[in-house]
C-alpha cells in the first residue's frame, strides 16, 4: 500500500506563528521583564494581546526589531534615540552622530589613561608630577630678548630686567607668571636665544632692552619639576615622550616657568618650576576630543 502525505509550503500558512512572551524571551535570550519594558516604551509592541487573559504573543518577524534594539543598546544608544530611529528618523544621521560621540569618548579615555601612565612614570622615576594638557592663558608680558653663553647664565641676567621694569613702573600681574621662552629649537651648548618674560598688569613705555607684548592663549603639555635645574633633562624627556606617544606635536616656543627658586628657597630641593610645551594634535594623530580646560 502506497502512503502519501501532503506538505504545504511555509508561504501558504494562514498567518504567522505566534509565540507566548515567555517562549519569545527565551528564543532571544532576553527577560520577560525587558520585553514588557520595551512595550511600555513603545519600542516593541506584541503582535497580539489576548483580549480576555492579557497574554502577549510575538511573531518571528519581530525578532529583527528586537535584535536592532539590543544591538543599538550595546552601541550606547539610549532608548529615546532608538525610538526616534524606529519612528523614522534619518538612521544614517543618528548613527554618524553617535559615532562622533563615541570617538570623543575614546579620546577622553585615552587622555585619562595618559594621566594614569604619567602618575605611574612619576612613581618609577621620582618626578614631581605627571604631564597635563592645559590652556596657558593670554598674558601681557614685559620681556627682554638676549643670547646666553650657557643656561647657567640665565638667572644672572634677570636682575637687570627687574631694574628696568621698576624704572618703567611695571606692576606684576597676579598670579605671578615669570618664564623663559626658548626661541630656537633643540638643545644648544652656547649662544642660546631666549626671551625672559614677566606677566604684568599693563604695558608701559619701553625702556632700554625692555619690551612689552601680548601672548595669546595656547594649549600646552606641562609638567612640574621639583629640584635643581641640573635635572631638567629628566622632566623634558618625560614631557616630550608624552607628546610623541599621544598624537601631539610641538606648536610653539617652549617655556620654563619659575615658581620657587634661589630667590626664595635656600634648599634647591624645594625649587619648583614648570616646563610648558605648546602643542597641537597631529593631523594623523589620535581622534580629537575635548581637552582639559585647566588654566594656570
Structure-block grid coordinates of residue 74: 550595546
Mean pLDDT in residue range 252-279: 91
Q: Are 71 and 253 contacting, i.e. CB atoms less than 8 angstroms apart?
A: no
Query: How confident is the model over 182-193, as a mean pLDDT?
Result: 86
Considering all CA atoms of the chain, what is the largest pairwise distance in Å, rounded to the nearest integer? Answer: 125
Query: Measured between alpha carbons, how far is 19 from 260 in angstroms, rounded to an integer?
Result: 76
The per-residue pLDDT for 188 is: 78
Q: Which CATH number fits domain 125-281: 3.90.1640.10, 3.40.50.2000, 3.20.80.10, 3.30.930.10?
A: 3.20.80.10
Q: d(Cα 163, Cα 142) in Å, to the nearest integer? A: 12
Q: Does domain 10-89 have CATH number 1.10.1660.10?
A: yes
In the structure, what pLDDT confidence band is assigned to residue 15 with cuts at 50, 70 and 90? Answer: low
Question: Of 73, 111, 109, 64, which Cα lies nearest the Cα of 219?
Answer: 111
For residue 155, give Cα distances in angstroms to 187, 229, 245.
Answer: 18, 11, 33
Residue 62 corresponds to which cell in the numbers above? 519581530
Query: Domain spans of the chain?
Result: 10-89, 125-281
Q: How far apart, in Å, are the Cα atoms of 46 and each of 20, 94, 160, 261?
A: 10, 26, 85, 74
Q: Which three cell numbers stand for residue 285?
A: 594623530
Measured in residues, the chain has a length of: 296
Q: Give φ, ψ of 140 to 5 degrees.
A: -90, 125
**C-alpha grid cell, residue 4:** 502519501
The predicted pLDDT at position 13 comes to: 40
- Regarding predicted confidence, which is higher, 177 or 9? 177
How is residue 261 written as a grid cell? 627658586
Which residues lie closer than 8 Å to 182 by C-beta, 6 or more apart? 192, 193, 194, 253, 254, 255, 256
Q: What is the pLDDT of residue 141?
A: 96
pLDDT of residue 24: 92
The model's pTM: 0.57
Element (H, E) at 199: strand 192-199
User: Predicted confidence band at 46 (pLDDT cuts at 50, 70, 90)?
Assistant: very high
Give CA–CA dist 192/182, Å, rounded: 8
Q: Is the pLDDT of residue 275 over 70?
A: yes
Residue 233 to residue 203: CA distance in whole angstroms: 34
**Residue range 76-134, pLDDT digits in tens:** 888 888 888 877 778 788 888 888 888 888 877 877 776 676 666 655 554 456 788 89
What pLDDT shows up at residue 187? 77
Is the model's pLDDT at 158 over the cut of 90? no
- pLDDT score of 193 more than 80: yes
- Tell me the pLDDT of the chain averaged across its residues: 83
What is the average pLDDT across 41-46? 90
Report pLDDT digits (tens) over 205-262.
999 999 999 999 999 999 988 888 888 888 898 899 889 888 899 999 999 999 988 8
Lowest mean pLDDT among 3-7, 124-128, 178-182, 225-229: 3-7
Which one has a higher pLDDT value, 66 or 283?
A: 66
User: Whole-angstrom Cα distance, residue 20 to residue 24?
Assistant: 6
Answer whether residue 45 shows pLDDT above 70. Answer: yes
Amino acid at each position: 500500500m502506497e502512503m502519501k502525505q501532503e506538505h504545504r509550503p511555509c508561504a501558504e500558512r494562514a498567518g504567522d506563528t505566534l509565540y507566548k512572551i515567555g517562549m519569545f524571551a527565551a528564543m532571544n535570550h532576553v527577560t520577560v521583564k525587558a520585553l514588557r519594558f520595551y512595550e511600555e516604551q513603545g519600542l516593541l509592541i506584541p503582535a497580539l494581546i489576548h483580549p480576555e487573559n492579557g497574554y502577549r504573543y510575538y511573531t518571528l518577524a519581530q525578532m529583527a526589531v528586537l535584535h536592532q534594539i539590543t544591538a543599538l543598546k550595546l552601541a550606547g544608544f539610549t532608548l529615546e534615540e532608538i525610538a526616534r530611529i524606529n519612528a523614522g528618523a534619518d538612521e544614517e544621521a543618528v548613527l554618524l552622530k553617535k559615532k562622533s560621540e563615541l570617538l570623543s569618548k575614546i579620546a577622553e579615555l585615552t587622555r585619562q589613561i595618559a594621566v594614569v601612565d604619567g602618575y605611574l612614570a612619576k612613581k618609577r622615576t621620582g618626578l614631581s608630577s605627571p604631564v597635563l594638557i592645559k590652556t596657558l592663558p593670554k598674558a601681557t608680558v614685559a620681556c627682554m630678548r638676549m643670547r646666553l653663553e650657557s643656561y647657567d647664565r640665565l638667572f644672572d641676567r634677570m636682575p637687570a630686567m627687574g631694574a628696568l621694569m621698576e624704572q618703567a613702573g611695571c606692576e606684576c600681574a597676579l598670579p605671578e607668571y615669570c618664564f623663559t621662552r626658548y626661541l630656537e629649537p633643540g638643545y644648544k651648548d652656547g649662544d642660546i636665544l631666549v626671551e625672559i618674560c614677566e606677566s604684568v598688569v599693563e604695558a608701559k613705555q619701553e625702556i632700554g632692552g625692555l619690551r612689552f607684548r601680548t601672548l595669546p592663549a595656547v594649549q600646552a603639555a606641562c609638567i612640574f619639576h621639583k629640584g635643581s635645574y641640573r635635572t631638567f633633562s629628566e622632566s623634558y624627556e618625560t614631557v616630550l615622550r608624552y607628546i610623541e606617544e599621544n598624537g601631539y606635536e610641538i606648536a610653539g616656543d617652549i617655556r620654563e616657568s619659575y615658581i620657587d627658586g634661589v630667590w626664595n628657597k635656600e634648599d634647591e630641593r624645594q625649587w619648583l618650576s614648570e616646563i610648558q610645551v605648546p602643542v597641537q594634535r597631529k593631523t594623523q594623530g589620535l581622534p580629537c576630543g575635548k581637552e582639559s580646560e585647566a588654566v594656570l
